[in-house]
Amino acid sequence: MRIGELSARTGTPARLLRYYEEQGLLTPARLDNGYRDYGPHLVDRVQQIRGLLEAGLPTRLIKNVLPCLDSPCSITISDPGPEVVELLRHERDRMDSRIACLSRNRDAIDAYLSKVTSAVTPVTAVATPADREAAVATFVAAFAQDPAVRWFLPDDETYPAEAAAMAGHLFDLRVGHGTVWIADGGAAVAMWDPPRTPSRDGVEHPPQPGRFGRYQAVVHAKMPKIPHWYLGVLATHPDHRGRRLGRSVMTAGLQRAAADALPAYLETSNPRNVDIYRSAGFEVAEHVYVDDLPVWIMTTGAGRS
């Protein structure tokens, strides 16, 4: 893309982009005609640069830190000197304080929204095929920053289509069992698996290639062999957070599990979700890694083996 398109996509003036390039923070490719070509990956890089600048880091330090945003870290280790190390430590600690403050403020807003909307009882229902479009849209919006889903689908440009295909597949597998619940017409969705037999597992969850296959191999091996209910997807559209819609659709499956006197299981790669699920009665059964992705496997505990 040309610099004007990169400017439009990042909301960054072209003059600043040229400055980033002069400072060695951006490295566009060169076309045969000598024009600069700014690849799609630079959209994320510009956002990272702006975030570091807003955090107070000077460009000379950002140039050193940027390689560590790549996976794997591509930095060449050298002695930066005690002054630089101390400055980076100071900036890191300042960022930690800001993150903690923002997290508290976010939680306070969530709590307030929960209070002011608690009088409105969510309408929860078993999903039908007619709810597919709304459920898929909620999944795509809700998991745009989710660690696990974005580990599977890291490309920003292809994410919407790939996430929609994934959500549609997961919805289609479960809706026929009557174990998909939606709230307020699809603003939140919970896709549960009822207790399954090994033969049905083989049909519904065939091994997949790549990252998803590795994830399946590790996580499914940790799931219990005893009958249990499994929460495969819990998503609330970002426009409807704070209304406890996710808790509403999750509770529908938990009630079915309790009626069957069976435990419920789920997994998450978002550390913030661990406490949220604990508040719903789950506890951590396993903490594992799939490559560099952390996964907490959680259960309601009853009958755990």
List the CATH number of the domain containing 188: 3.40.630.30
**Tell me, what's the pLDDT at 201?**
44
Q: Is residue 305 part of a domain?
A: no
HSE, CB side, 13 Å, CA atoms: give it for residue 54.
7
The DSSP H or E segment spanning 6 is helix 3-10
Structural domain containing residue 92: 80-119
Give the pairing type, strands 36-37 and 229-236: unpaired
User: Does 101 share its domain with 70?
Assistant: no
Residues 283, 255, single domain; the answer is: yes
Taking the C-alpha atoms of residue 93 and residue 275, their distance in angstroms, rounded to an integer, is 24
In a domain, 304, yes or no: no
Cβ burial 265-297 (10 Å sphere, 16+ → b, else e): bbbbbbeebeebbeebbbeebeeeebeebebbb
pTM for the full predicted model: 0.60
Same domain for 134 and 112? no
Q: What per-residue confidence (pLDDT) applies to 144?
A: 94
What angle (nearest 5°) sits at the alpha carbon of residue 271, between those of residues 48 and 282?
A: 160
Give pLDDT tens digits along the chain (305 positions): 889 889 888 889 999 999 988 888 888 888 888 888 988 889 888 988 888 888 777 787 788 777 776 655 555 555 566 776 777 788 788 878 888 888 888 888 887 777 666 556 678 999 999 999 999 999 999 999 999 999 999 999 999 999 999 999 999 999 999 999 999 999 999 999 999 744 344 334 555 678 888 898 899 889 998 999 999 999 999 998 888 899 999 999 999 999 999 999 999 999 989 999 999 999 999 999 999 899 999 999 754 44
How would you class 87 by CB atoms within 10 Å of its CB: exposed for 0-12, middle for 13-18, buried for 19 or more? middle
For residue 293, is it within any domain?
Answer: yes
Per-residue tokens: 205: 């969850």
Tell me, yes or no, whether 36 and 140 share the same domain.
no
Phi–psi pair at 40, nearest 5 degrees: -60, -30
Within-domain flag for 268: yes
Residues 170 and 62 in one domain: no
Number of domains in the chain: 3
